Structure 1
Amino acid sequence: MTLPQCENFGGRRSVVPGMRAINNAHVAEPGLAVVEIAAADDQTAFAIQELLATRCAVAAADRTTREPGEPGARLRCYLDLRQEAAPA
């Protein structure tokens, strides 16, 4: 399935306005995933990302994003379940 190059795929209500499209390369093979984290604050979003990083390889995000006028913070990271987490 090819995703269109637009922010709100298919105009579905469940898609967050302003969300970037997921590139086909991000999920081109089994074991690759894109995780969009929505949290009350930056600390919580980064804590979830760290939790994921203990289980698998993560291309970590270094900042969160916020929607103007909306509560909370969002963070997007990329997972590779085929690789084990790097040792601490």
Structure 2
Amino acid sequence: MPTIDIYTTPTCPYCLAAKALLDNKGVAYNELTVIGDPAKRQEMLERANGRHTVPQIFIDGQHIGGFDDMNALDRQGKLDPLLKRAAS
């Protein structure tokens, strides 16, 4: 299985949508909540090259972007191969 990290906040609708998409794919992920955790938010900013919105999604260390980016990959048929490649 790939290692998937997703930085979130509890009430973010895009975070919920990203988690639902990953849940539908049947993949496990590490949810890293940044609310109230300045160190975790700083970690996200550094890993995401300064992107400060949530969610920020990483698959095996590769920055995918936010929900819109991941959803676009899925619509283009590129997310499943990325998940499979990351898993092998």
Flag whether TM exceeds 0.5 (same fold): no
The structure in which a higher percent of residues are helix is: 2
**Bigger-Rg structure (1/2):** 1
- Report which structure shows greater RCO (CA 8 Å, sep ≥6): 2
Q: Name the TM-score, length of structure 1 as normaliser.
A: 0.31
